[in-house]
Amino acid sequence: MSTVSTVNGGISFWYAKEGTPAPREPLPGDVSADICIVGGGYTGLWTAYYLKKAVPFLNITVLEAKFCGYGASGRNGGWLYNGIAGRDRYAKLHGHDAAVRLQQAMNDTVDEVVRVAADENIDADIHRGGVLEVAYTPAQLARLKAFHAVEIAFGEKDRVLRGARETAERIRITGAVGSTWSPHGARLHPAKLVKGLADAVEALGVTIHESTPVTEIKPKHAITPYGTVRAPYILRCTEGFTAGLKGQRRTWLPMNSSMIATEPLPASVWDTIGWEGREALGDMAHAYMYAQRTADDRIALGGRGVPYRFGSATDNDGRTQPATIEALRDLLVRFFPTTAGARIDHAWSGVLAVPRDWCATVTLDRSTGLGWAGGYVGSGVATTNLAARTLRDLIQQDSGQAGPTDLTALPWVNHKVRRWEPEPFRWLGVHAMYAAYRTADRRETTSPRPDTDPLARAADRIAGRH
Ligand SMILES: Cc1cc2nc3c(=O)[nH]c(=O)nc-3n(C[C@H](O)[C@H](O)[C@H](O)COP(=O)(O)OP(=O)(O)OC[C@H]3O[C@@H](n4cnc5c(N)ncnc54)[C@H](O)[C@@H]3O)c2cc1C
């Protein structure tokens, strides 16, 4: 297998074929709006979409630092699925039933994204094959079975547990001993979705300014080098880039995730792998992987790589470290040995946001008109849509156009969390955590025991994950 010709960065593989979209005009100067949205990823664009659909006369301005889809929304693994960061903690804080309602809302959200994409003629290569998560060590299998049982307890009665043979009938992965499959998932092309959304939102009459970085958000003001947008509501939708805004350095930690994409694989290789259902594929390792079979028959596979850059710095247009590319390639070949000769066409990375308690949130501060949604960790492709519909409802409630709704009553609404520690503790903590996860994964690979390695348990506790 060769990585000599691998494109590294260029935002992501998802832009390799069609290129990045034609740029929109920056903010021309000071303007007023009813609502100003900062960030043109899924969160910002879905929010603009639902607000404009609900109240067509609203004057909505989206400000985007680079171009719509520059962030995680144009770089992700394309798993549209029903996972939401923090559900189990919300169950502890608000009770099991509240968390079941949150889970049900997420299940519905997968359907909602598929529905709107169809309604708006957004061809995002959506394929509803569900999500298949596999185990390949005894400890992973024990975690997988426990995870399966928990998901059923949260209302996913249609989830299916499979043994080694049945798993291989779906996808042949070296050493896989079992899997759990959920129908609440689809594979998609992330950049096609975000581009289609931006176009749809613009067609509805929302104003989008690109190449317009917001330097500071204050009540009723979004300040940029080109002027200030004044609006009663300012919504921060900047996820992994949030630390770059004045006063937000320790709000959410920008965590990297990296991916590789192979060349299109020939039928002879697919014959050895199967994967005809094109399920979104993941595993139960602590430093977990995620993958999809693309519409043009490549494998796009991601994992953690270098988890975090000192001082909450973000990447350079998606470039990732050579060591990460090698590690992801090794993982690919370990899963699918017949890909050993395949070219790796592209490698890239992106940032997602991790709150101190690993819980996604959506908030509208009614006293200031400031709102935000995010902290999705690695599960934002669907969650952003639920966040957007919730922000719509919160704003409609606040402006007296509607009352509370099922969405505004969900337990992640207006959740508060403390900030991350200052440097160097942030850097040391995250790197120690991932070093512990990698060691735990290695030890579990050779251990016949079903117990999760104690190092991983300790890392979970220190990181505040459980
Ligand atoms: C490599 C990778 C793989 C992933 N895979 C999956 C997956 O398979 N499934 C899943 O559910 N989730 C996945 N995620 C997470 C998911 O992609 C994100 O949660 C989701 O895209 C977040 O959308 P967003 O709009 O909140 O943030 P983003 O898409 O990051 O958008 C934020 C936007 O704000 C802009 N911005 C930032 N700062 C400013 C500023 N100061 N002024 C103006 N604009 C600004 C940025 O340029 C960016 O366009 C993955 C993430 C990564 C990085």
Grade residue 206 by pLDDT with cuts at 50, 70 and 90. Answer: very high
Which range is least confidently modeled, 26-40, 314-328, 425-439?
425-439
Segments making up each domain of the chain, as ranges: 128-188+254-356+423-463
Q: Residue 348: its pLDDT value, please? A: 96
Q: Residue 313: its pLDDT value, please? A: 77
Pocket test for ligand 1, best of 352, 372, 386 (most atoms within 8 A of CB): 352
**Ligand 1 centre from 82 Cα, in Å?**
17
Nearest protein Cα to ligand 1, atom 35: 39
Cβ-Cβ contacts under 8 Å for 429 (sequence gap 6 or more): 421, 462, 463
Binding site membership of 282 for ligand 1 (Cβ less than 6 Å): no
**In degrees rounded to 5, what are phi and psi of residue 319?**
-65, 140
**Ligand 1 centre from 282 Cα, in Å?**
20
The ligand 1 atom at the shortest distance from the C-alpha of residue 63 is 43
Mean pLDDT of the chain: 95
Binding site membership of 236 for ligand 1 (Cβ less than 6 Å): no
- Give the C-alpha distances (Å, rounded to integers) separating 449 from 81, 136, 288: 31, 13, 19
Pocket test for ligand 1, best of 253, 320, 376, 391 (most atoms within 8 A of CB): 376
**In degrees rounded to 5, what are phi and psi of residue 382?**
-90, -40
The ligand 1 atom at the shortest distance from the C-alpha of residue 213 is 42
Binding site membership of 237 for ligand 1 (Cβ less than 6 Å): yes
pLDDT at 462 over 90: no
Nearest protein Cα to ligand 1, atom 36: 39
The ligand 1 atom at the shortest distance from the C-alpha of residue 376 is 19
Name the CATH topology of 128-188+254-356+423-463.
Answer: D-Amino Acid Oxidase; Chain A, domain 2 (3.30.9)
CA–CA–CA angle 42, 208, 251 (5° rounding): 50
Tell me the mean pLDDT in the region 71-92.
Answer: 97
**Ligand 1 centre from 167 Cα, in Å?**
32
End-to-end CA distance of the chain: 39
Nearest protein Cα to ligand 1, atom 53: 350
pLDDT at 1 over 60: no
pLDDT tens, position by position, 136-189 = 999 999 999 999 999 999 999 999 999 999 999 999 999 999 999 999 999 999
pLDDT at 466 over 70: no
Binding site membership of 376 for ligand 1 (Cβ less than 6 Å): yes
pLDDT at 398 over 90: yes
Pocket test for ligand 1, best of 76, 87, 293 (most atoms within 8 A of CB): 76
Binding site membership of 70 for ligand 1 (Cβ less than 6 Å): yes
pLDDT tens, position by position, 270-292 = 999 999 999 999 999 988 899 99
